[in-house]
Structure 1
Amino acid sequence: MAREPNTELGITRRQALASGMAVSSSMFLAGCAGGGDGGDGGDGSDGSDGSDGSDGSDGSDGSDGSDLPNQELYFAQVKGPLDMDPIIMNDVPSAQIANQMFDGLYEYNEGVGIEPKIATEAPTVERDGTRFIVPIRDDAVFQNGDPVTAEDVIHTIVAPVEEQTENAAEVDMVDTAEAIDDTTIQFDLSYPYGAFEVALVRNVVNKEVRTSDREAYNTDPVTSGPFQLTEWEPESFATLDRWDDYWDDSNGLPNVATIEFDPIEEQTTRVTELETGNVDIIETIPPQLYETVRNNESATIDEEPGVGYFYLAFNCGDGPTTDPMVREAVDYCFSMDQAIENFVQPAGVRQVSPYPRTMAEEWDFPLDEWGDISHDRDLDMAADLFEEAGVDMDYNWRIIVPPDDMREQIGISIGDGLQNAGFSNVEVQRLDWGTFLDAYVTEDAERYNMYTLGWSGSPDPDAFVYQLLSQEVEGTTNGTFHEYSEASEMLTQARESADREERRQLYIDATTELLEGRVHIPAYNLKNSYGIHERVSDFSAHAISTEVQIFTGHNNVSVE
């Protein structure tokens, strides 16, 4: 049962949030990008504190004899979802929602380990790492009654390549996929891809329904998970309801009956919504508000170092930044260490390579050596290099950033450094996501010289450097258009090897060349941080940013 509208104000919760009003008669805040459609978030002023049973505190709605809990969870995202079809999905907010609705072939456990879901056990690996045999369950069912079949799994894996989606590089090593029988699938790879088990962590789609109308599937997907999509608006809210006939009841059913995912882009508003009780969980605690949340008696912070990477990237294909000397001069214009200390900590940590620290340490990568590549601020050296490279001091610099405060502050730090070095025409342009994504893949210096961006990948080096720095995926995730073909080839060799030590050395050599060429200047890694209201139990942060684990084999979130 949804929380009641705020009758005192005469508006619904979603209407209030969309207009920038905190749903409390004493608080008005501007800048919120979205919201939910329930009541006032439990401040008790309209009786929604449980006196009418609407919060599920008695474990039942009592109206129809059902003994299922009837709890509602409001989850505030930073951005709203763009897609609901996992085949084309390429953003974190969408994946966070999809992971509640779809069951994966394999899924992450409470850490970064992988466990079977639609599969019954780990794949059998044959032919020197080029054949993977995956057994699947015979009892999994989609919400329309269709059984989950081997053909559904095969379509899930091969469709990104067949349809040339932005996710194609994750599975383009699959040469053939066939059903040996009704519950066994054989994947033959064109090379021994060392991270293929990670690539099998994918949400399984319904092939028949999806292929009959792909556009409709992206707005109203047929799924097999514990929640179903009941309402959503792209880049805005999404409402999920529990599927009470969920096929896998081995761990019971979710305590939460309804989940509202609402984007609240403005960070102060997001924290205020948690403080006033209008939302139950918020993601990404902004650094300047950490203490505010920590000092809130009604909320706690749970955080986990993320498997992510945030960076400054250069347009190496057009304009003055095609010259590595110019890129080095920009590096001398500012201090990345100081920018991270000022604008990111304690919400994140300085990162000196494309690999999250936990991954880099596991692979014994030379972090100290890589950390010495980036320069500290030295305006005299910057000026000398700009002069030597022949850059006109009247040049119009353009740095584009997505709608994110921390990444914008990194861009501003660079822009200030360029001005301090003597340039008068410097623009740091904050763009909405669609405009930003359209711009940074154009290779057009009139649209950008530099950009700040982030990436969340799977726990394997290939998910970061191949996706972001290989010339083979240029124009999708790689907006640098760099000239380092030898390094790019090494990244390809690393992904096509099953020998871990060989892969390690290839990653070291390629990454060193790319960092010395300053294709990227690594910036930071965020902690996956969540503000959790005291009425919520059994929720914890996960290292993978797409993993919002509300109901899994390890937890079952409750809302009092």
Structure 2
Amino acid sequence: MKFESGSVSRREFVLATGATSAMLAGCLGGNGSGDEQVLRIGLDEDPRTIDPVRHLSTPDRQVLNNVFNNIVALDNDLSVVPELAVDLPETEQDGARWIVEIDSDAEFHNGEPVTFEDVEYSMTQPVVEDRGDAGDYNMIESIEEVDEHTIQFDLEEPYARFMLSLNTLVVPKDVREENKGAEDEWAENIIGSGPYKFVEWDEGERVLLEKNEDYWMDIDPALDEVEFLEIEEASTRVTTLETDETDLIENVPADLQSTVDAMDHSSMDVIEGLNCNFIAFNCIDGPTADPLVREGVDACIDLDNEIDLQIGDGGSRMYSPVPTILAEEWDLPVDEWADIPAEKDHDRAAELFEEGGLDPDYELDILVSGDDTLAISLANEIEAAGYSANVQNLEWGTFISTFNSGDADDMNIYLLGLSGSPDPGAFINTLYHPSREGADNGHYYRDDELLEWMEGADATDDEDERRELFIDATTRVLEQRVHLPTYEEMEAWGVANHVNDFHVNPRPSINPRLTSEWNNVSIDN
């Protein structure tokens, strides 16, 4: 789904703010006491950081979206709309110059205005600090202050996805610089400009936010407090919804959704998600650097059957790294890509392993963090072909550093998922561009022609040309088995009936959006 250049101005929105109904502690009407509105949200993972410059994972952004404002945001239709910006940016010089007016009313929680310096800092610091998303900003040649509220971005060359680069959370430069920790972690005085203020973070347990009474937008946030709770087990999250310990829960598996729907006071909100999951290979070191070995792994397993058994109605099979809602929007040849995976054939897999030089005594290391059922099935199928595989289920931080090492002593295969922006290039570049090596790209597959196609798709706004380049790039990585696409998940949230105006967004990291120009979550008593 592409961004809409014709999206309306933020000042053209009409919003009715949410109710401020009272709640009683422990009652079906939600959590809290007296007139307080307290929303408790069950997430399956704890944030890794609450610093917008350093964030990379979905749980980070789920919290941060409610504390900070973006320059432009994505609404529930994945259209781009202004947030800190007054209107959508103007472009000049064939897309090499972008001009943005920042709302003069925008201010941080400490009362200081959002300035040119804050925007410039937020858009350049990922490159300065060599963050994993630096590729979203390193095409910026200069940033100039046209006047007190207008900013001009000059790019090295036209960049088709720069509108999505402006979907950036803006931090107060001085506060962050003064409060970075020993490892450049913004450790205290978390100050944003969003509808909710940061209160505290008990790592591994909860993040607590409180209402911004002086929110600069023409919106009165309806909730007094918001509590994000880490509840790793899906069944436990469902139980907390049933017992009124939570009001919203994410990632309800298909086999538990009927349980939520059967509750008297809760129901499911399920939509198609903007995400992909995959099996990836170490393409730079060890036996999986040989494409024949990668094809052999492909021939070991029937992914259609495995996904049907393990995911069921909670998702659907993917045949490319581009989510279905984008593939359909761009008319990409998914049916043709579906013919690329090998048929399950252990004898053929053994032949490919032998031809690719895989030693029968070599044990393929498969890395995963979290649910390892698919990884275990893959290991079993490799062993059924007469070879060895071992599954390591690692804690997230260890998993990231290990799968990114590029060392065959650390891993040969890893399983991972990705959510991204509504443009095929966001998924293709994140997974395959060399600039993402050591961040999202742990396979280190290198191909000059592939790089040319990816960068060519970013350098033109001609949609037909971009589409052909996306097709070329995707076909290459699928034929080379850099990744074996597996499945995309539904965005499935359990919602208590007393929660008003909550809408699930296809992009996982945007959920839950609590207060915006198009919604304002509140609770009935």
Q: TM-score, normalised by structure 1?
A: 0.86
Instruction: Note if contact 1:490-1:506 (Cα within 8 Å) is conserved in structure 2.
Output: yes
Q: 1:54 to 1:93 in 2, by over 3 A?
A: closer
Deviation string, structure 1 residues 413-447 (Cα, Å, up to 9, x no partner):
21111111112x42111111011001001111122
- Alignment correspondent of 1:512: 475
Where do residues 330-349 of structure 1 align in structure 2 (5 Å cutoff)?
330-349=297-316
Question: What runs of 5+ residues in structure 2 fail to find an aligned partner?
Answer: 1-22
Instruction: Note if contact 2:208-2:226 (Cα within 8 Å) is conserved in structure 1.
Output: yes
- Alignment correspondent of 1:477: 440
The equivalent position to 1:230 in structure 2, one of 184, 193, 199, is: 199
- How far the C-alpha of 1:228 sits from its partner, in A, is 0.5
- Alignment correspondent of 1:48: 26
Instruction: Note if contact 1:287-1:343 (Cα within 8 Å) is conserved in structure 2.
Output: no
Instruction: Note if contact 1:106-1:200 (Cα within 8 Å) is conserved in structure 2.
Output: yes
Alignment partner of 2:152: what SS?
A: strand
Distance in 2 (alpha carbons) for counterparts of 1:493 and 1:214: 37
- How far the C-alpha of 1:54 sits from its partner, in A, is 6.9
Distance in 2 (alpha carbons) for counterparts of 1:235 and 1:501: 46
Instruction: Note if contact 2:179-2:189 (Cα within 8 Å) is conserved in structure 1.
Output: no
- Opposite residue 437 of structure 2, the aligned amino acid is E
Deviation string, structure 1 residues 471-522 (Cα, Å, up to 9, x no partner):
2322221100113332123212222223222221111111101100000000
- Residue 336 (structure 2) pairs with residue 369 (structure 1): yes
Distance in 2 (alpha carbons) for counterparts of 1:124 and 1:305: 32
- Residue 434 (structure 2) pairs with residue 434 (structure 1): no
Distance in 2 (alpha carbons) for counterparts of 1:483 and 1:149: 40
- Alignment correspondent of 1:141: 107
- How far the C-alpha of 1:200 sits from its partner, in A, is 0.5
Q: TM-score, normalised by structure 2?
A: 0.91
Distance in 2 (alpha carbons) for counterparts of 1:381 and 1:492: 36
- Alignment correspondent of 1:203: 169
Instruction: Note if contact 1:82-1:235 (Cα within 8 Å) is conserved in structure 2.
Output: no
Deviation string, structure 1 residues 3-27 (Cα, Å, up to 9, x no partner):
xxxxxxxxxxxxxxxxxxxxxxxxx
Distance in 1 (alpha carbons) for counterparts of 2:120 and 2:357: 54
Distance in 2 (alpha carbons) for counterparts of 1:50 and 1:358: 36
Instruction: Note if contact 2:76-2:504 (Cα within 8 Å) is conserved in structure 1.
Output: no
Distance in 2 (alpha carbons) for counterparts of 1:211 and 1:267: 38
Question: What runs of 5+ residues in structure 1 fail to find an aligned partner?
Answer: 1-41, 62-69
Q: 1:468 to 1:218 in 2, by over 3 A?
A: farther
Q: 1:473 to 1:55 in 2, by over 3 A?
A: closer
Deviation string, structure 1 residues 149-181 (Cα, Å, up to 9, x no partner):
122111111111122111211111111011111
- Alignment correspondent of 2:522: 558
Q: 1:366 to 1:155 in 2, by over 3 A?
A: same
- Alignment correspondent of 1:242: 211
- Alignment correspondent of 1:500: 463
Deviation string, structure 1 residues 53-91 (Cα, Å, up to 9, x no partner):
9746xxx73xxxxxxxx2111101110011111111111
- Residue 39 (structure 2) pairs with residue 73 (structure 1): yes
RMSD over aligned Cα, in angstroms? 1.8
- Alignment correspondent of 1:456: 419
- How far the C-alpha of 1:233 sits from its partner, in A, is 2.7
- How far the C-alpha of 1:235 sits from its partner, in A, is 4.2
Distance in 1 (alpha carbons) for counterparts of 2:394 and 2:483: 20
Distance in 2 (alpha carbons) for counterparts of 1:118 and 1:207: 16
- How far the C-alpha of 1:186 sits from its partner, in A, is 0.2
- How far the C-alpha of 1:275 sits from its partner, in A, is 1.8
Deviation string, structure 1 residues 103-147 (Cα, Å, up to 9, x no partner):
111111222011111110011100011000101111111111111
- Opposite residue 392 of structure 2, the aligned amino acid is Q
Q: 1:277 to 1:54 in 2, by over 3 A?
A: closer
- Opposite residue 122 of structure 2, the aligned amino acid is T
Alignment partner of 1:101: what SS?
A: coil
The equivalent position to 2:54 in structure 1, one of 79, 83, 88, is: 88
- Opposite residue 358 of structure 1, the aligned amino acid is I
- Opposite residue 260 of structure 2, the aligned amino acid is V
Q: 1:213 to 1:54 in 2, by over 3 A?
A: closer
Distance in 2 (alpha carbons) for counterparts of 1:120 and 1:169: 26
Alignment partner of 1:277: what SS?
A: coil
Q: 1:275 to 1:54 in 2, by over 3 A?
A: closer
Aligned residues: 498
- Opposite residue 455 of structure 1, the aligned amino acid is L
Distance in 2 (alpha carbons) for counterparts of 1:472 and 1:241: 37
